[in-house]
Amino acid sequence: MDPLVAAASVLAAALAVGLAAIGPGIGQGNASGQAVEGIARQPEAEGKIRGTLLLTLAFMESLTIYGLVISLVLLFANPFAG
Amino acid sequence: MSDSSHESTTVATDSSQVDSQGETPKESMQDYYSLQKELYVVTLTTTAIIFVSVWISYNLNTGLNYLLGACTGVVYLRMLAKNVEQLGQQNRRLSKSRFAVFIGLIILATQLSQLQVLPIFLGFLTYKVALLYQMVRALMPSDPR
């Protein structure tokens, strides 16, 4: 593989997973914190709050997974490797 | 003074354990378990339908690749559900160990010539169908009136 392509791929992989984790990380932190606060305030609604949290976290985490896939493909199955 | 503070603590604890409808936190967790069960059932049903469709449309190898991804997706969803269940009780933060399953699968798919990345990745995303189904169901009004 061309060293320039290899270096660019590694940089792109790092940026892809790093940038893709920022937004969902902040969102998941906020959502989890609020959910735990809600459960402490209303323990009788624990099941519903946890259910909503599960769906929300799954949606948010898929954004991180997209970045992860891009970086893994760039590292292990690079389409630009001649 | 210590007696009154003890009394107020007892009252607060009692009111947190049983709500106005007599539902305790343990009973309310049944909602969560039934949601989890529904998610698994919808995911597995969708997986079975898509697996057969892919087998007919493409070939068995692609179908099995899809099935591998979908099964990993179910494992991932189960790990996430367990994490959410333990959040605030045993764990104070969400663990990231479930990503290891996905990373391992993708690395395996890129290294082995029999495996293809795209069907595995699309199979992994099958659990999102169940999530979308649940979201649409939650948005629908339960009472038509």
Mean pLDDT to the nearest integer, A22-35: 94
B2/chain A closest Cα distance in angstroms: 24
Query: Could you give the CA distance from residue A20 to residue B49 in angstroms, rounded to a whole number?
Result: 32
Domain tally for chain B? 1
The confidence score (pLDDT) of residue B56 equals 96
Q: Is residue B87 part of a domain?
A: yes
Query: Could you give the CA distance from residue A53 to residue A36 in angstroms, rounded to a whole number?
Result: 10
Helix (H, G, I), strand (E, B) or coil at B132: helix
Token pair 């967790």: residue: B29
What is the ipTM score, two decimals? 0.88
Q: Is residue B4 part of a domain?
A: no
Q: Is residue B6 part of a domain?
A: no
Query: Could you give the CA distance from residue A28 to residue B95 in angstroms, rounded to a whole number?
Result: 12
Chain A residue with minimal CA distance to B35?
Answer: A51
Q: Is residue B22 part of a domain?
A: no
Is B108 in the A-facing interface, judged by CB distances under 8 Å?
no
Provide DSSP, B54-76. HHHHS-HHHHHHHHHHHHHHHHH
Residues in A touching B22 (Cβ below 8 Å): none
Q: Is residue B9 part of a domain?
A: no
pLDDT tens digits for range B41-91: 999 999 999 999 999 999 999 999 999 999 999 999 999 999 999 888 777
A5/chain B closest Cα distance in angstroms: 19
Q: Is residue B46 part of a domain?
A: yes
Range of the domain at B52: 30-139
